[in-house]
Structure 1
Amino acid sequence: MTTRVFVSILVLSLFSCKPSTEDYNLLSTGISRELADFRKQQLSDIVYDLNFSIPEKLEDSIPASLDLTLTIHDSSQPLYLDFNVEKGHVSNVIANTEAIDIIHEQEHVIIPSEYLKEGKNHIEIAFTAGEQSLNRNEDFLYTLLVPDRASTLFPCFDQPNVKATYNLSITAPQDWEVLAGAPEQEQSKNGNFITHTFATSDLMSTYLFSFVAGKFKTATKDLSGFDMKLLYRETDSTKVQSSLDPIFELHKGAVDYLEDYTAYSFPFQKLDFATIPIFQYGGMEHVGAIQYRESTLFLDQTATESQLLSRAKLIAHETSHMWFGDLVTMNWFNDVWMKEVFANFMADKIVNPEFPEVNHDLLFVLSHYPSAYGEDRTKGANPIRQELDNLKNAGSLYGGIIYHKAPIMMRQLELATGKKAFQEGIQEYIKTYAYDNAVWDDLVSILDTKTNLDLKKWSEVWVNQSSRPVFSEEITYDAQNTIEKLQLIQSAEDGSAKIWPQTFKIGLVYADSTHILTAAFKEKRLLLEGAQGLPKPQQIIYNYDGMGYGIFPQKDDLLQSLPQVQDEVARGYSYINVHENLLNAGLNPISVFELYKKGLVNEKNALILNRISSQMQNLYWTYLTDIQRESHQKELEDLVYNQLQQALPANIKKTFFGLFESIAYSPSGKDRLYAIWNKETQINNLKLNEDDYTGIAMQLALFGHEHTDIILKEAAAAITNPDKKRRFEFLQPTLSSDESTRANFVNSLQDAKNREKESWVLSALGYINHPLRQESGLKHLKTSLELLEEIQLTGDIFFPKNWLNATIGRYSSAEAYTIRENYLKAHPDLNKVLKNKLLQATDDLERVHVMQASLEN
């Protein structure tokens, strides 16, 4: 027999012995619920020993190895490791000391059952690290593995209820810092590289495993025996000096509060953090090593009160996750909202004592209601708790309902159970499920023992169903003009029969007083017996305390007197309610425009003023017609510019400047904005930093200022931070007055590689699809929609919705509406969650279309 014949026979023999994928009945792309449930009972005592060797050159791959030890309770089925990379990344597999064939099918590395045993097993895998979630840059990288992206980096069991410990070593260039979830134990030098070895981590889910490596500066702080370390790249010395102490102190303050509230000590070995210039979202709660978007944490003396509050709440949110999400983790990602609602809910509690001068009831209303309503009012509204069949779809569950409606629900739940009983229930929940997993019903069962409320029935409508209530009134007066009957009726906006149990206040406003009534809804109709016999009020303000949820009656007379309402919460919520009634075509856009103008002049509360400014921009660019917008632009520009000349606090000046900058596209507006940019005009108490001036330059380019080329050249030269300079260079094509240059940029986004810096991409799309450029941007909408399903697979959790918001979500034209409708017709099987995201993002487009159709008829 010749050698060639022998080799051929051997190859055929090996091929024929390789198990057929048809035998793997749990095999499918992604991580199915069936596979996850099986692995939960199949596996325990999991330890990942991981090694990554990061090369100096960005284009070089990262060799890696995994030594996996685990206990297997059922060896009748294969071992499925999730590894969502192209074939060829795995170079060697050893199962219990025996080298085996590499079986890498449908995003899984499979160890056949014949190589397994019940009890302790040892698996070794040599592989090349996947890079989809490595976020590699020239001089730094960071992992971001939520919700199912750990499997795009290394072979693992990528589901939240299979927790494990990690032993990690990373070899990196010698001038790089490395941060991971466990304390660093040892460094060993090897030529131009250093190997960083970390201690055994705490028990955690795969999506919480992380590391950051690169050229970072470091800062450390020990506050009352609590050591913390920060990695950062910010180069502005003023921001660094102003921010380092607050960053550490806010973390320590959050830890102290949470330890007291939960009656459970900080649960992990350490609390470090890294700030990253291009981070995809605000923060991510990796165990022991939180990651943040750098611009949110590093502020200077120009920061507004809103920015300071946002930083404090973000830090409190991510720190809260150490208990809610990291210590006690959802069993499956359909309950991802649980960790987010607790983080937001606790963040609101934590921030209160840090900002005693702030009206925190008002802050809660303004922080959560607009964003919750922004999704719950739409045809794509989803429940707080959603169904999930496969973890590959888990990223699409995130959104405003989870982050904003859920805290509103939780506040109602706390009100219904009582604060003391609620806190006791949370303490029991944390203690019972520490280092484990829990579902919503586990918490409900605990709280059920502490209240007479039927929480299962209560949560059915609040948690498991979508939409919001619409309230109407029935009011009659007798001959003496006193109230005979005041009745409220609740109906569901989506036309269903559900009723939301909730409690809120109603203010009956008189010339010299306000009479407060409590509305406790349990049924469809509520007769307010306390109103009977009262004189006819000048006005009625519903949801006076901001505790209720829904759309409330809004009379035209309140539009005239709203700026004079004394109670801040009532006034702030009423502005939100005006906006909701406008969107439901219950109020005239020009009447609302006039109200907002009065509010801009009269409002003294910075938080409410910021809300008015935001709603004014939405009204101006979306709900006014082209003719209305052009006829009112100059008066709005002059009004806001005049407010900038007044003696007002710095944070209010910054709000006015943001509004002015957004609408100063007239010749006079561009002249005024240019004078501010080149510092010919100095506005007293308007504090602008380098980033602000860069933003003004880009806005002038968007508005087509005659000196755009010079402005952008000077703006680029003024940027000292290399990360910000790269961002500016990335955005420049979108600022071009040349339509073909902008079109080439948009077309480049069809390549996933060009979408990796997601925050930059979203900023770029904002310029491409600005209302002033939509005539040229319209032709790209079809392509942007066709990319949606790919973006869900390649982008991070918020990117699909943000992509839609930044593209078709910016439009209000009939042409854009037709493009959306044609896309939906052409994709009848579009993933339901993605379809909901599209309907949410285009809610304004839909409403404008309905308004225009009603006018035409």
Structure 2
Amino acid sequence: MVCRVLVVISLLLSLVSCEKEQDKVEDGVSLELAKERKANIGGVTYKLYFSIPADRSEAIMAESTIFFELFDLIPVILDFKEAKENILAVTSSDGRKIPYTFKNEHIIIHPEHLKKGRNELVIQFKAGESSLNRSDDMLYTLLVPDRCRTLMPCFDQPDIKARFKLTLKVPSRWRAVANGEPVRTEYFNDYKLYEFEETKPLSTYLFAFTVGRFSYLERYVGGRWIGIYHRETDTSKINASIPVIAREVSHALDWMEHYTGIRYPFDVYNVVAIPDFQYGGMEHPGAVYYRASTMFLDRNADLTAWMKRSDVIAHETAHMWFGDYVTMRWFNDVWLKEVFAGFMSDKIMTQLYPEVNHRLNFFLNHYEPALRTDRTRGTHPILQELDNLKDAGTLYGDIIYHKAPIVMRMLEREISERRLQVGLQRYLRRWSYSNADWDELIKLLESTTGQDLQAWNEIWIKESGAPVIEFQKNGIVMTDESGKNRVWPQAVSVFWDYMGLKRTLIPLRDSLTPFRYGASVVLPDGDVMGYGCFLPTDFSIRFLDDELGNLNDPLYRAVAWQALYEGVLHKKVKGEFFLKLCIKHLPQEKNNLVVNRTLSFLRIIYSTYLDEGSRQLIQDDLERFCINMVNNKAEGKNKKSYFNTLLSICSSPKSCSYLSSVLKGEQDLPEDVTINEHDKISIAFNLVLRDTNVYEDMKAYIMKTVKNKDLLDRFEYVYPSLSGDKHVRDSVFNALLVRENRVNEVWVEECLRWLNHPRRRMEAEGYVPKLLGALQEIQQTGDIFFPGSWLSAGLTGHTSKNVYTMVNSFLEKHSNYPQNLKLKILANSDHLRRLHSEEENKDRLK
């Protein structure tokens, strides 16, 4: 009798426990749920099978056997963001059916069907497809940050690492690549079976596979095999690029092994080059994704393109240690993996390109990209808060990718390069194949160095924003535009003029730092020691007007252009003056990195910070300048940069005729300017934008002359957004609001940019409210960078006060809007604030 009572009590307690668990289960993966699961679940292995049909309309049938240790007998909650109907069966290892509850994107298994210790669940299901990038002859997973749960039932949080044992059934003419090395391939009449080796422990967001029509090459470099999967059809690009890709992957692996003292921690390294991939790269061990256009370059590609490829290879390879081998505990620390991947890639590049000025490269790679968010009202701290993984994608952006490496370099100067290296080696060994957070690392660095780093940590990691730093007659003023009166301690290297340039290193520790030569400052931080929005002085503007081209170090010239651009944004330098300086000084500039950055400033100022009258006054001069630089004056590899700038700003019939003749091969170009199929499409798009009468002829020409299928697919998707018929463009925009039509986010972004191009901005203003209204759904269904890309593509082309009012009205109307998305709106509409906020304030005072 006593036994029966105990059994009944046990069952009642179990039911109460289940009800409590169900009550607190919410959509996504809450921090509370993640902590409870981490405390109670370990030793996870997924044995997976996916059957992938050739017909993309057919469902992908799958099975997962999940092995795990259960420490306490409580309900087990699996994540699965799909319809309940996609769950076909849940059984035990002996085939016994296991009841479950499905609630708020979760499968809940009750304790009476589990046991303490080792458990095994077998789940048959239809794979979710929202994170399967699926086309007619290719499919690839992309599961960062919390999208593994959209594919399959799992414990989708970074600190429950698991081993993955994968089998894929694919069409017979397709190839497959995944995290593990293929150990067996069976061939049948119309399909193949790939079996992959079980992986080392991985977070779920790193699980990956790609299948489809790919070519495969491998190279043996530095004592290891590097595999390369690609769909490139240009033989000259393939022959020129494959050896370089393999060599640079090998170099990056060797460098990381030497720096960390730890051998490559995974079994295989394959490069997977994906056309129009959403990101620059993605660090899946064994199957590292890269954007194909970045990897396969023309023989005449410039230094910027070469270094961009090298940088992304180094960055993704560094992730094998920082992010994959040791992973953050929770995605609020996503910056931790990104900062060290970026930081290490900068060091790898220094060895790879000894002839390059790497202080310059670091400055160009990170300072303006960081400031384009950090100078806006949409900025945020490097370390952010996150209550639910469903919002993790909103944490990504310029701050974690670009401001974080800048402040990490400051930390390295503070504690020494050697001490940082020793601390990071201890970090990797301490948490190998496991997880750690920033607080654990900063404490480890403090114990390694004996220094108190908390004050530095507070202002640079946990606070947002960048100071505005301005030189006045008798001092250096640091302004906190947020009104909080904060000070960012730093040192700056000031260059000032007194019978020649003098350099002084000045520590900034207060909002006003005495400096008697403030009126004669030329470069506010020439050696890039500090960080902030450095404004030019009246003296420096006059000095640079005459002498910018004579500054002997390309870093100093880049700093000068940056300060002048900052002056345009802060209304201390007129946009037309900046463009005239470009025409005056760029013909003498040989450095490709400086040329490309300065031309990017030119294009932004031309399209955004000039009124229509000023633009027309300088139009002919700019076009002549670009054409002259292409045909005559520019250094060889710089010519293509000027050609692309002409493509962006061209307006006159003469320049359009010139570009049309280039497209059709009727215009002789210098040997250094190669027009590939991607360029042909870009030229066609720009010509149609300027003259819609050639719409049909241009379409026929591209369809006839471009052979690459992936490029043609992109062309056909994007082309209607350039139609001269507004009804057609409206239908394109409205179609983009429907999730099923957003088949490729890179293509969607391109459509939005053409629909909202400056030449079409008046007709496109009506899109803005819908664009903003769709943002939450875009964040919920798109990949991590898509909300920012959606806003950038839709808002950058607009400059009117009307659109500025629309944005402000939207934010006022939605006072409880998700904070991270609100910040993205503010960051991507900052140019509108700079153009119209003073006018708005004047209107309010009337």
- Answer yes or no: same fold by TM over 0.5: yes
Partner residue, 1:543? 525
Structure 2 letter corresponding to 1:849: H
Which of the numbers 661, 664, 677 marks the counterpart of 2:647?
661
Secondary structure in 1 matching 2:85: coil
Is the contact made by 1:596 and 1:616 (CA closer than 8 Å) also made in structure 2?
yes
Is the contact made by 2:587 and 2:634 (CA closer than 8 Å) also made in structure 1?
no
CA distance in 2, matches of 1:303, 1:90: 50
Partner residue, 2:4? none
Q: Residue 79 in 1 paired to residue 46 in 2? A: no
Structure 2 letter corresponding to 1:495: G
Structure 1 letter corresponding to 2:568: L
Is the contact made by 1:462 and 1:500 (CA closer than 8 Å) also made in structure 2?
yes
Partner residue, 1:493? 481
Q: Greater shift after overlay, 94-103 or 168-177?
A: 94-103
Structure 2 letter corresponding to 1:740: H
Partner residue, 2:253? 255
Q: Greater shift after overlay, 706-715 or 344-353?
A: 706-715
CA distance in 2, matches of 1:148, 1:100: 26
Deviation at 1:207, TM superposition (A): 0.2
Q: Greater shift after overlay, 708-717 or 764-773?
A: 708-717
Structure 2 portions without partners, runs of 5+: 1-14
Partner residue, 2:774? 787
CA distance in 1, matches of 2:737, 2:17: 38
Secondary structure in 2 matching 1:279: coil
CA distance in 2, matches of 1:537, 1:836: 36
Deviation at 1:265, TM superposition (A): 0.8
Q: Residue 739 in 1 paired to residue 751 in 2? A: no
CA distance in 2, matches of 1:754, 1:275: 24
Deviation at 1:86, TM superposition (A): 1.4
Which of the numbers 677, 690, 707 marks the counterpart of 2:677?
690
**1:79-125 deviation line (CA, Å, top 9, x unaligned):** 00000011200011124644122422110111011211111111111
Percent identity for Structure 1 against Structure 2: 37
CA distance in 2, matches of 1:708, 1:855: 45
Secondary structure in 1 matching 2:691: coil
CA gap of 1:741–1:474, structure 2 versus 1, over 3 A, is closer
Partner residue, 1:381? 379
CA distance in 2, matches of 1:185, 1:782: 53
Partner residue, 1:344? 342
Q: Residue 567 in 1 paired to residue 549 in 2? A: no
CA distance in 2, matches of 1:651, 1:402: 31
Q: Greater shift after overlay, 105-114 or 539-548?
A: 539-548
Deviation at 1:430, TM superposition (A): 1.2
Q: Report the TM-score when normalising by structure 1.
A: 0.93
Q: Residue 367 in 1 paired to residue 354 in 2? A: no
Structure 1 letter corresponding to 2:483: G
Root-mean-square deviation (CA), in Å? 1.9
Is the contact made by 2:76 and 2:109 (CA closer than 8 Å) also made in structure 1?
yes
Structure 1 letter corresponding to 2:486: K
Structure 2 letter corresponding to 1:665: S
Question: Residues 593-632 of structure 1 correspond to what in structure 2 (within 5 A)?
Answer: 593-632=579-618
Question: Residues 223-302 of structure 1 correspond to what in structure 2 (within 5 A)?
Answer: 223-302=221-300
Partner residue, 1:4? none
Which of the numbers 690, 700, 704 marks the counterpart of 2:691?
704
Is the contact made by 1:83 and 1:107 (CA closer than 8 Å) also made in structure 2?
yes
CA distance in 2, matches of 1:242, 1:138: 29
CA distance in 2, matches of 1:617, 1:831: 32
Task: Figure out how many residues of one structure are paired with residues of the other and give that number.
Answer: 824
CA gap of 1:420–1:20, structure 2 versus 1, over 3 A, is closer
Partner residue, 1:633? 619
Partner residue, 1:645? 631
Is the contact made by 2:659 and 2:683 (CA closer than 8 Å) also made in structure 1?
yes
Q: Residue 92 in 1 paired to residue 89 in 2? A: yes
Structure 1 letter corresponding to 2:67: T
Q: Greater shift after overlay, 105-114 or 489-498?
A: 489-498
Secondary structure in 2 matching 1:630: helix
Deviation at 1:594, TM superposition (A): 2.5
Structure 2 letter corresponding to 1:765: L
Deviation at 1:852, TM superposition (A): 4.4
Which of the numbers 32, 35, 44 marks the counterpart of 1:34?
32
Secondary structure in 2 matching 1:142: strand
CA gap of 1:566–1:537, structure 2 versus 1, over 3 A, is farther
Partner residue, 1:202? 200
Is the contact made by 1:48 and 1:166 (CA closer than 8 Å) also made in structure 2?
yes
**1:640-666 deviation line (CA, Å, top 9, x unaligned):** 222222243332101111111111122
Partner residue, 2:8? none
CA distance in 2, matches of 1:43, 1:134: 28
CA distance in 2, matches of 1:647, 1:619: 23
Secondary structure in 2 matching 1:99: coil
Partner residue, 1:50? 48
Structure 2 letter corresponding to 1:501: P
Is the contact made by 2:523 and 2:559 (CA closer than 8 Å) also made in structure 1?
no
Partner residue, 2:313? 315
Q: Residue 723 in 1 paired to residue 720 in 2? A: no
Q: Residue 713 in 1 paired to residue 711 in 2? A: no
CA distance in 1, matches of 2:302, 2:841: 42
CA distance in 2, matches of 1:174, 1:411: 50
CA distance in 1, matches of 2:511, 2:773: 43
**1:676-721 deviation line (CA, Å, top 9, x unaligned):** 2222221323222222122111111111165343223112211111
Deviation at 1:552, TM superposition (A): 2.2
Secondary structure in 1 matching 2:250: helix
Deviation at 1:474, TM superposition (A): 4.6
Which of the numbers 555, 560, 577 marks the counterpart of 2:537?
555
Deviation at 1:452, TM superposition (A): 5.7
CA distance in 1, matches of 2:222, 2:535: 52
Structure 1 letter corresponding to 2:564: V
Partner residue, 2:821? 834
CA distance in 2, matches of 1:450, 1:670: 62
Deviation at 1:622, TM superposition (A): 0.6
Partner residue, 2:427? 429
Structure 1 letter corresponding to 2:170: A
CA gap of 1:819–1:496, structure 2 versus 1, over 3 A, is same
Which of the numbers 770, 777, 781 marks the counterpart of 2:764?
777
CA gap of 1:474–1:691, structure 2 versus 1, over 3 A, is closer
Deviation at 1:738, TM superposition (A): 1.4
CA distance in 2, matches of 1:514, 1:334: 45
CA distance in 2, matches of 1:549, 1:450: 26
Q: Greater shift after overlay, 548-557 or 429-438?
A: 548-557
Is the contact made by 2:535 and 2:566 (CA closer than 8 Å) also made in structure 1?
no
Secondary structure in 1 matching 2:163: strand
CA distance in 1, matches of 2:298, 2:680: 14
CA distance in 2, matches of 1:413, 1:509: 31
Question: Residues 410-421 of structure 1 correspond to what in structure 2 (within 5 A)?
Answer: 410-421=408-419
Q: Report the TM-score when normalising by structure 2.
A: 0.95
Is the contact made by 1:90 and 1:102 (CA closer than 8 Å) also made in structure 2?
no
Secondary structure in 2 matching 1:24: helix
Is the contact made by 2:325 and 2:434 (CA closer than 8 Å) also made in structure 1?
yes
CA distance in 2, matches of 1:609, 1:852: 34
Structure 1 portions without partners, runs of 5+: 1-16, 477-486
Is the contact made by 1:600 and 1:613 (CA closer than 8 Å) also made in structure 2?
no
Question: Residues 802-841 of structure 1 correspond to what in structure 2 (within 5 A)?
Answer: 802-841=789-828
Partner residue, 1:215? 213
CA distance in 2, matches of 1:553, 1:773: 33
Q: Residue 505 in 1 paired to residue 493 in 2? A: yes
Q: Greater shift after overlay, 404-413 or 449-458?
A: 449-458
Q: Greater shift after overlay, 379-388 or 705-714?
A: 705-714
Deviation above 4 Å: which 4+ runs of structure 1?
17-23, 536-539, 851-857
CA gap of 1:197–1:653, structure 2 versus 1, over 3 A, is same
Structure 2 letter corresponding to 1:93: V
Is the contact made by 2:178 and 2:210 (CA closer than 8 Å) also made in structure 1?
yes
**1:595-622 deviation line (CA, Å, top 9, x unaligned):** 2332333322211111111111111111
Deviation at 1:148, TM superposition (A): 0.1
Deviation at 1:569, TM superposition (A): 1.4
